[in-house]
A = this chain, B = another copy of it.
Amino acid sequence: MKTTAASFEEFSPAWSQKALAELRELVGFASISTAPAHTGAVRGCATWLARHLRGIGLDAVQVFETPRHPIVYAEKRVDPARPTLLIYGHYDVQPIEPAAAWTVPPFGARIRDDKLYGRGASDDKGQFFVHLKALELLLSQNGPLPLNVKILLEGEEEIGSPNLGEFIRRYRRLLRADWAVLSDTNLLSAQQPALTYGLRGSLAAELTVIGPRAELHSGVFGGAVLNPLQALSTLLAALHDATGRVAIPGFYDPVRAASAEERAYLRRYGPSEAQLLREAQVAQGWGEPGYTLYERTVLRPSLSITGLRGGYQGAGVQSIVPARASAKLSFRLAEGQDPHQVEEQLRRYLRRLTPPQVQATLRAQLHAPPYTVAPTLPVMQAAAQAYARGFGRAPVLQRSGGTIPVVSLFEQHLGIPTVLMGLGLPDDHKHGPDEFLFLPNFWRGIRTSLFFLRRLGQLTSPTPWLCSSSTATATRARATA
């Protein structure tokens, strides 16, 4: 643990040991939000967090009930004239499957070679805990906080935040702030900080093809009745052309073309083809011609079939023409695209392609617009400066291919931008076995958050938010930032 020990030096050894012990307690909760058997662990984690927030001196701590898992809230209001930061995190975690692939207990919070292992250690417990520890340090000093803070910790992020939108809408006065910060994205590497300014949006939907009223004998009817599995395969195949482009008419039309400067920047500082292939553990890339692999995952939209089922799935043979088949579709949307418009384009295309012998139905499950924030915003510049001091190195600007629906909820209901102050590593096994938090970055993260909070306190009049997705100028500004 030499690096960790070295990182301790700027904090008192006693405080650091206590902070690490608390982090291990937090990671020890098996707060898997999707598993009904873990409901108690999710609640236990919420209770622990509420107690902890009170303990470090925050006010108005409350555990809000939702139809499923609770939301933990806390605040510290120091001066209405000062700006307010909303700190968001999620304390729920992914399932541990495949459980047998873990080499450590998933909720043991074991430390080995500067890494704290555990489900949720990076996603998102270790990342949001950084801000709580920075607040604790500020609150333990003489004098008030440099700004107002509100804390919102959710227990349903890994199941798509089904109750968060309603909560934010209902409590939008309580949550009112100037900016939000969310630490649930990646650095470029352990030493190279990165500030994320773009996220892809998402449209998730399930396509079901319905054929005969009941399963038919494939000997008796095979060749005379259209098989819904075949109709589904044909529809799915028609969603891409042979080059790897999505074939839905009009799909790419609204996508805002990145400037040459932005593309050059991303090529220079983003992951290389080799790095992406290594991370994916595949030998060859694939996708839309004319773009690098990194561009395909952050600047361009994509469509993944995430699940497929129909007919007989057991061992051996069942001789049937099945009655129905379905596929789960996950679109990632680029700047300019609207999930509802894409849904409509898909519906129109499917209507055109579906043969008359079967019926195709589409059920949309998630609409999250793409998100971009201008790196020129003062709050983004404050974040960049904080990284530079916390890590001793200026951050690289990056886009992420993932989707974080809460940023759109903050945009929609609170009208504020979110700073994506990621602290994870690209290879820290989030959602996989042996997830870990790289501890040196836990301490660097606390320092970064300290600088960030202080710097924001100096921004007495927050600039109105210029969401770059609304102006081409902002896009250019971002690309050259």
Contact = CB atoms under 8 A, between A and B. Distances in A.
Contact of A284 (B308, B317, B356): B356
Contacts of A305: 227, 229-230, 233, 310-311, 322
Contacts of A296: 223-224
A233 B230 contact: no
Contacts of A234: 233, 236-237, 240
Interface stretch (A8-16, A209-217, A441-449): A209-217
A432 interface: yes
Given A305-B233, A312-B307, A317 B224 contact: no
Interface in A296-320: 296-297, 300-320
A224 B286 contact: yes
Contacts of A94: 318
Contact of A304 (B239, B281, B321, B402): B321
A49 to B, nearest CB: 23
A288 interface: yes
A392 interface: no
A200 B220 CA distance: 10
Contacts of A232: 233, 308
B433 A226 contact: no
Contacts of A281: 212-214
A366 interface: yes
Q: Which of A223, A234, A285, A320 has the most CB of B within 10 A?
A: A223
A306 B160 CA distance: 32
Contacts of A376: none
Interface stretch (A50-58, A80-88, A327-335, A455-463): A327-335
A429 interface: yes
A400 interface: yes
Contacts of A303: 222-223
Contacts of A328: 311-312, 317-318
Nearest to A334: B223
A218 interface: yes
Contacts of A3: none
A224 B318 contact: no
A432 B319 contact: no
Given A293-B224, A332-B222, A320 B306 contact: yes
Contacts of A306: 218, 229, 311-312, 317-322
Contact of A316 (B227, B308, B315, B365): B365
A333 B238 CA distance: 28
B301 A223 contact: yes
B332 A282 contact: no
Given A307-B322, A400-B219, A285 B224 contact: yes
Given A95-B314, A101-B214, A216-B431, 17 more contacts: A202-B219, A217-B430, A218-B306, A218-B330, A220-B400, A223-B288, A223-B300, A225-B282, A229-B305, A230-B236, A230-B304, A233-B234, A233-B305, A234-B236, A234-B237, A307-B312, A308-B313
